[in-house]
Amino acid sequence: MSQTPFGVRLRAAMDAHGPLCVGIDPHQQLVESWGLPYSLQGVERFALTCVEAFGGEVACVKPQSAFFEVFGSRGVALLERVQAGLREAGTLTILDVKRGDIGSTMTAYAEAFLGQDNPDAVDAITVSPYLGYGSLRPALDLAATTGRGVFVLALTSNPEGASVQHARGADGRSVAGEVVAGAAEDNAAARRAGDLGSVGLVVGATIGDAARDLDLRSMGGPLLAPGVGAQGGTAESLRQVFGGALPQVLPSSSREVLSAGPDVRSLRDAVHRTGQQMRALVTPSD
């Protein structure tokens, strides 16, 4: 895998294809809506159709690991085929695994997904900071060494998240604020060089003004924004959430695009249409 930092590669992909990340989420309802059985064979058909439709056509693709893991080792093997197919097409992958632990366990997770010698390593993964941002250090450091990236959960749209993410410490800073500050520090060198950092944040597209006290623009990394389309995220909501940080935003759409299946051409058309809409949204007007 290229040693070029993930943030640099992601910026190039966003410029080339538009700022859009498409999910591959083969949950039962979606698989069956394509007229496929909810089985390993049905999920295989679903996932490989997505690879054919999205590979080389979109900035990046985000497979959700859980929907493959549910089928055991055969599902994991299928996920590896998906990753390999996207890699062959030159498309970046963000594996949605939300790993988070401490010490040697976090180190093992990092090696599993980001290690230099792992032939199935992806371009980036999602991680959970709720054992403390510092607990992610093994993944952050390894990703920096191998040219990969991480997306750290910061502000999510689920109602349960607010009680943790908005909790404040003795210094008055929220948990989400601590996460933003940690990412900003890790991205400082890239920002000084004029590059997009390789430590991104996950910030829901439908959280309203919950990020108003956070300096997302100066964080310096990409802002993965799930929830665009079928989950309610609109151009207006993205402007409300991100404001001046819009050029860093990587909107993520799953159901909105996947509902265009099972025809490859229809999926590809949906990707192009959505990508153009997102490019128009996040590109500053003259």
Q: Pick from 284, 285, 286, 279: which is nearest to 14 by CA?
A: 279
* 113 vs 228: CA distance, rounded Å: 26
Check if the beta carbon of residue 203 is closer than 8 Å to that of residue 230: no
Measured at the CA of 46, the angle between CA 115 and CA 203, to 5 degrees, comes to 55
Check if the beta carbon of residue 95 is closer than 8 Å to that of residue 63: yes
In DSSP notation, 94-146 reads EEEEEE---HHHHHHHHHHHH-TT-TT--SEEEE--TT-GGGGHHHHHHHHHH
Check if the beta carbon of residue 260 is closer than 8 Å to that of residue 231: no
Domain span holding position 157: 6-278
Q: 101 lies in a domain?
A: yes
Residue entry with tokens 């990703």: 143
Q: 1 lies in a domain?
A: no
Give the chain's domain count. 1
Q: Can you give the pLDDT at residue 231?
A: 58
Q: 128 lies in a domain?
A: yes
Q: Which residues are catalytic?
A: 98
**Average pLDDT per block of 10 residues along the chain, 286 residues long:** 86 94 96 97 98 96 97 97 96 97 96 84 94 96 96 90 86 90 96 96 82 85 83 70 88 90 94 87 64
Q: 286 lies in a domain?
A: no
Amino acid code (one letter) for 12: A
Q: 259 lies in a domain?
A: yes
Check if the beta carbon of residue 82 is closer than 8 Å to that of residue 24: yes
- CATH number for 163: 3.20.20.70
Q: Can you give the pLDDT at residue 83?
A: 96
The number of residues in the chain equals: 286
Q: Can you give the pLDDT at residue 232?
A: 58
Check if the beta carbon of residue 200 is closer than 8 Å to that of residue 152: yes
Q: 283 lies in a domain?
A: no
* 88 vs 91: CA distance, rounded Å: 8
